[in-house]
Amino acid sequence: MSTKKPTSTELNAKAAKSFTRRSVMKTAVATGAVAVASPWIVKDAFSSSGEINILMWSDYLPEKFMTDFTASSGIKINYTGIGSNEEII
């Protein structure tokens, strides 16, 4: 008992039946909705208070880096240095 393997023409015909104007329109509308909503989502994600809070080991962040970063970006760094894991808890 052998099974017939479909030819490329049969596969193309089957694919063409599932590819309709309606499916193209659904995809286009969904893509458009995402494109329209993206600026509002991204705007909220990139909005900033102008400050960043950093909790890091005491000697890992040089003072020069913090002053240079604040000078170039205008974002204030609120740095809290820690000496051990127990201080975090």
Predicted confidence (pLDDT) per residue in 30-87, tens digit? 999 888 877 776 666 666 678 889 988 877 888 899 999 999 988 899 998 888 888 8
Question: CB of 76 within 8 A of CB of 49?
Answer: no
pLDDT at position 67: 92
AA identity, residue 20: T
Q: Burial of 33 by CB count in 10 Å (0-12 exposed, 13-18 middle, 19+ buried)?
A: exposed
Tokens of 48: 């900033």
pLDDT at position 58: 78
Rounded distance between C-alpha atoms, residue 21 and residue 25, angstroms: 6
Radius of gyration, alpha carbons of the chain: 28
AA identity, residue 29: V
pTM: 0.44
